[in-house]
Structure formats: C-alpha cells, structure tokens
Structure 1
Amino acid sequence: MALQESTSLLLSDELRSLARRLDNAGHGEKGALMQAFEQYSGWSRQRIYRELKNIGWTNERKRRSDAGTTRQDEGVLTELAATLRCGFRKNGKATMETPNARSLLASNGRQFNVSNSSINRLLRKQQFNLASQRQASPHVNLRSLHPNHVHMVDPSLCLLFYTPDGKQHMIRDDEAYKNKPEFLERVGELKCWRYVLVDHYSNTVIVRYYQSKGETQTNLYDFLLYCWNQIAGRPFHGMPKLLVWDKGSANTASAIKNALKALQIEAYEHQAGNPRAKGAVEEANNRVEKLFESRLLYEPVPSIDALNNAVDAWCNAYNADRIPEYDARLRRRGMPQPLARFEIWQRIRVEQLRILPELDVCRYLLSAEPKPRKVRPNLSITFAHPIAKRSLEYDLRALDGVYPKLEVMVSPLVMDGSHQVFVQVADYKGDVTEHLVEPVPFDEMGMRLDSPVWGEKFDRMPDTPVEQAGKTADRAAYPGLSDEDISKAKSKRTAPFGGLDAHSHLGDVYLPEYMNRPGTELDVPHRARVEIKPLSHIQACRALVGKLGRSLSAEENAWIRETFPEGVPEEELSNLALGLAQPRESQRPGLAVVK
C-alpha cells in the first residue's frame, strides 16, 4: 500500500511538472512533451489529458470565432430529422438512418454541406436524433379522491386454455407469437380471457376469467356486475363514478355505454397507445400473471369455473395481505406506511358507496336502448320504467323545443331506486339536448298532484315552439299591439301591417301587345236547342214590381195577361219595365210592348 501511495504521489508531481512545461511551451512543442510523457507513464494521450484535467490544468486554446455555427441549412436538417422520425416504429426499430435519409433528400434537391458525422452531431445537439425521440414523453400523475371514485378495467388474453376433456394447457412462447398466429386461430373459442379491475384509490384488484373467442361486451358487462355486486367474504363492492378503459370494440359498443349511463357511471376512454393512462390496471395484470397464474403450473385446475374459484381466493388473500411469507401491502411514495388494500378500501364513507341495483334490472339495461316516444297534447309522455315495473307519466312542459307529436328518445335511470328517465330532444339542426325528468305524482284517484285546484287558480300551458313562432309572426303583422289587442284586431278583421297595396297596383301593370291568334270554328251538327220556360204571370208581375219600385194597376196587370197569354219571356222583362215606367199621361191608349 505504501509503494502504491508513493507511486501515485510521484506521478502527481510529474503531472504538475508536465502542466507547467505545457503552459510555457512554444508553438509546436506541446506534442513532443505529450509523446515523451506517454513513453514515461505508459498512458494513452486521452488519459494524460484526463489526469491533467483532474489536477486543474486546462488547455487554454483560443476559441474559434465561428464556434457553434454550421454551414448546414437548418431547414434541410429539420427535413432530415423528419425523415428519420417517419421511419421510427413503435417497437423502437429505426428503418431509416442518416446516410439513407441524406441520399433520399439529396435526390430530391436538398443540399448537404457537412459530413454524416457532423449531421449526427447537429441532430444530437438539437434533440432530433433517434435516441432522444425514443425517450418517453413526460406525464402527470393523477389522483383519485376516495375508494370507488375511479375504477380501471382491462381484458387480456391468457397463455392458457382448457379443452372439453377438462385438461389445462399452457401456451409456450414458441407456439404462439406474432409470426405464428395460426396457433391461436386453432385454439378458437377455447381461448381464456383474463378481466382485471382495479380501484385506483385503494389499488384493490378483482380478477375473473372467461372462455371466449374474443372480447365481448357481454363478458365485460358480466365482469363489471360481478365486481360491483356484494359477494360473500369480499368487502369490496359498489359502483364507481368514473370507469377508465381502452378503446376496444366491446367497450365502445352503444349497449354497454347506455347501461353505464343509466347507472350514472361516466366512461372514460384513454388515448390509444398510451398505456400509462391506466398504469394501475396494467401493473395489476402483470402481478396476476406472476403471482397467481405462475402457481397453476404446480397445481392445475380442470375448468374455467375452478379457475375462477381459485383466483377469487387469491384476490381475497392478496388484497387482505394474507398470502403466506409475501408482503402484498400497497406502497406509494409519500405514504407514511404500507397498508393492505382491503384496509384502505374500508375507509369509504356512506355517501361514497353507491350500491348496485338488482342484477335483473342491470341485465335489462344492456339490451335497453333509448326508445322513441311521441309527445302528447298535454306535453307529456309515458314510459315503462324497469324499477317501477309499470308505465309512468313524465311531464315535458319545462323542456325547450317540445311540442305535441314531437318524437323524443327515452331511456331509464335506475340509481337509488329512482324512477327518473333521460329524455333526448333534437332541434331542427339535429343537435340533441338531454334532460333528466322526474315522473308525475298522482293521488289515489289518479289526478295529478301538481294540477291547479278548481276555484283556487287556473294555469295555462306554456307556449310551445309552434305557438311561439305563431305569436312572433302575429306581432310582425300587427306591430305595437299586445297579444290581447292582436286577438281583437284579428276578430275585427283589421288589415295586417296597417293595410297593404294587395291588388290595386295590378291595374298599372304593363302588359305587352298580343297578336290575335286565328282559330277554327267548331262545326257541331244537330246543335241542341235550349228552350227557356217563360215566367208565369205572377212571377212576371213580382219581377216588374221589383224593377219599378211600385205595384201594378189592374189595367196594367190585365194588359200583361192579354199580351202574353202563355207567360212572359224573361228577356222581355226589361222592355216591359221601361214601357211601364213612362208617365201615365204620356202613355198612349192601349199599351204596347217596347221593342
């Protein structure tokens, strides 16, 4: 040890001596000094510079005036970085490298003024290189407020399946991987799917297995009901406020979304390709595979039912921290001490524990899509609610855009024994507004409790959109008048708009001069003659009295009967009236018909 210390001190002295000689060396002398010390110490030149730096010596070489600049165009460099990025796969493999990208861009008119190594150095400096692009994006940790606030669910295909003869088979990696998908196709409907749910606050894990060819919304919904229902021996139950899942086809199906909506559970689909958004359930899948499924090699089970019984026992032991010689408590940075998952979940308060309705009602919701209903004249609808198990009436008077015979879409809400429904109203643009509506209360005689009582008050229906549009038009036709005055004006047939030139202007319309068009006279043989029956003497006298404004004398009456013994032709009435209207003194003796 003493020999090593003396040798180290000797080299330190020699390094300090070399540093002084380098500082005093002239132009071209430093290389010879470095070469001599290499032979003396047996070190490489890089190590000598490193050791000199450790004792505080620096090469005070003058910095170039163009240091930090480059001849390479920044725009072309950015395009090259984009070309490299386009060839970067999600699995981390780079299919495009700098020489190939440079050749591609140069063939398309881009100019490069530096070497490939200089390009790579510039890419590293500006964080354009592939190593920088491979780094994960920064993320924000989200928190939940209490147990059952947020649940996360994720299905995964297991590496085991069961044949009809009750044998368990483990799939080896060399049997099924991305280049040999035909093996999984042969397994078909024997595939075993693992469904995992995690409570984000307590990190409680619930697992169940299903035998199916693929993910289905029926299996997913059955698993959720299993997790949220009360199971003997398991404290965890109740529905969350928010359910986080991926964008799988089973999840995004409208049926399961409608069911969750009726249970007042908000579904959140995390961004595709972002597994950290539900990292808790991803980690839970990994723990189930390592801590439970690894045990099946040593103690196989004969069926899916037996597998579910086994995983139920494991989940209860894991969440309660009762697995022998294994610490399953939850640890988080910032927690004072680790705790069992069930112990954390037991902190849930009464108002936070939302009990699942009856399973029959919940299963009905999966097949119950919104149903159309027509608004009745009293602005109400009827709907058979699954909780009430009978048809109830719902008043829509307070909803905007509702009028008689309008078709609305209705779906039930089944939380807390409520008989409420969701009513979707679409406007003329097709935009849909959703409302939560209570059922109408009735007394024992079937009369609405919110109806006005005779002799106390009278209410009228609010104006529907049709009535509102009509009143707007009436106010435009009778400006400045109230609705009551408008009604009176319409009763009196007062001219709208204060009177308009509706037809008198047609007399001043310019008409073009039209040519007379020659026609062909219709030759009708054996034309029918219409004979008009003459008026009787009494009918003729009555008509003449009306024209003359006086009664006829006996002489005039006798003369008419004598002159027209068969009756008076209707066309002779005007001539008779003209003759009888002359003064009596100017009349000639013996009246005659004026022709």
Structure 2
Amino acid sequence: MGFDVKAMLMRRFREELEKLSSHSGDITSHTDYLASLLNDIEFEINVLRSSFALPHHAVSETVPDWVKDDNDAEDADFQLPEHLRGTGEDNGEEAVMNAILTKRLLAIAQAAEKARHGGKDAVYQTGCQALGISKATLLRKIKQVSAKPPRKQRVDYGTSALTRDEALLISGVITKSKRNNSKRLYSLEKTVNDLRANNLINAGHVDNETGEWFPLSVDAINRALYQYRLHPNQLRAPAPCIQLKTDHPNHVWQLDASLCVLYYLKNPEKV
C-alpha cells in the first residue's frame, strides 16, 4: 500500500513538473518557482517526520507482517522470478519486492547510467532518500533486479609479447639453476633481469602511437610461461597415469623380451 501511494504521488508530481518545465521558455523561467515548490514539499516531509518521530534513515528494513499480507493480497497475480528475489540472509532482512519497487529501482539504475561523469552519486542519494534506505542497500537491490552485460574481452586476449624462444631461454635458465634438492637458485625476476642485462631477451613491447618501449612485468612473463607450457612447475610435473581400456579379451598382448639366466635345481628327482 505504501509503495503504491508513493509511486502514484511521485508520478503525478513528476508529470506536473515536466509540464511546468516545458512552458518555462515561453515567458519567463520557472526555475525559482520549482525550487520553492520542492522546498515546500521538503518542509511538509520534515513536519510529518517530526510529527510521527521518524528517523531520517531507516535503521532496519524489516517489513511488518501486515504489510507483507497487504502486498501478497494486492500482488497475487504477480510473482517475481527466483533470481530477482533476495535470499533474506543479509542482515536478517526480508527480501520482499513488488513490481512497483522493481520499476523504481530500474528507473534509478537507468538514470545513473545516463548520468554524466561524477553524477551517479547524486542519483543514488536521491534514490536513497526516496526509498528510505542506505546507499549500500540500494546498490544491492539494483544488482538484484538489473542485469549487466558481460565485460568485453580484450582484443589481445590469449597473446603475449613474450616470444616462444624467449620463454624457452627463461625456462631453461631457471631449470638449469635448480640444485639436486630441487631448490632454485634463480628466481623468475632475477632471471629476466640478468637476461635483459646481457641482451639475450627483449621481453617487452613497443607502443605503436608513441614508439616507447615498455618491459613486460614479471607477472605477465609468468603467465606467458604457463601459456607456452614452459613453466618450471609444469616441466617438473610427473608423467600422468593413463588407464587404457581394451575392446575385448586378448585384444592386447604383452611380451617380455628381456634376457634372463635360467637356474636348474641340483637334484630335480627329489623335488
């Protein structure tokens, strides 16, 4: 009931503001009038808050049982999908969202997307004041009802400026420096720095626009070694154990071709 009344009032109020704003250029600007009108509304809201001893921000978002019953009765024909319903596990809150609240959250999300750089916070603050919830709760509920497109994949995904020959050289130096107790004497960073100092590897890329050369980071070189399957950890991995399955009995035969020495018993008759 509360959401319905609020939505109706906000819709009518926004329509009237749009009408006044559309006629503002005919004779004179209505900016001051609209600002004073909003001030009057804020004054009336503060009076209501003071009369009913209401806080400026809701401490808890728990919905009373009688409100749940009214919402269930009014929205009997509308059911949100499962992925749009909250779990009710965060802070023990009851995630009850009807269609009007969902539309309101989507409108706030769309307004934030259309806002200029640095203007999203103002949109979120307005939404928090309208819904009476904190910013963290608002963002969490917007995430529940809206779907974001997946992140675009980088154009150079799966490629590296480190060549395979450089990866072979780096991996060979690290593997050769290993002691008999499997301890490494050369770290990846020290190996790359020494090979660069001796002009044995480049391990970098050139910016096409500025022509500036940038060295690859140790993490990027480490990922490239794994992509080439030349990382020392991969090379030291034991051989995999593979189980083979035959199509039928006697499908595969095993022969022992090793040479052996035959021993004969001294007294074969007594055995």
Per the normalisation by structure 1, the TM-score is 0.20
Q: From the two aligned structures, give the one with the greater helix fraction.
A: 2
Pick the structure with more strand per residue. 1
Q: Which has the higher contact order (CA 8 A, sep 6+)?
A: 2
Q: Greater CA radius of gyration, 1 or 2?
A: 1
